[in-house]
Amino acid sequence: MPSLILLMIAGMAAYGYWNAARAAAERAGELGRNACAAAGVIWLDQTVHAAGLRLCRHESGWLGFERTFRFEYSYDGIERHVGRLVLRGDTLVSFVGPVRPNVVPFGEN
């Protein structure tokens, strides 16, 4: 009987980890898509890819996961560029990717 309880606990832990990973991937996809739309670039492949996972301490003091995702975008539809974002829980803590161009016409200051 104790082995069945341990098996159930392990199954619940695995489901909790999988569910949190899916939620983080969906949040990362939303953030990547929004960043590409705001910068006026093309979000390629319509997905993010998990690139890293590590333990970290959240601001609340609890241990949790910090997940790194990568995505690809293009300015012209030909060249591919890689963006990267890091989520701590569901909070964005780092972003490297497309930015809105800041063009100042020549002669204006």
pLDDT at res. 89: 84
Whats the size of the chain, residue-wise? 109
Whole-model pTM? Answer: 0.81
Radius of gyration of the chain (CA): 19
pLDDT at res. 2: 72
The phi and psi torsions of 76 (rounded to 5 degrees) equal -125, 0
Confidence of residue 76 (pLDDT cuts 50, 70, 90): confident
Is it the case that residue 109 has pLDDT exceeding 60? Answer: no
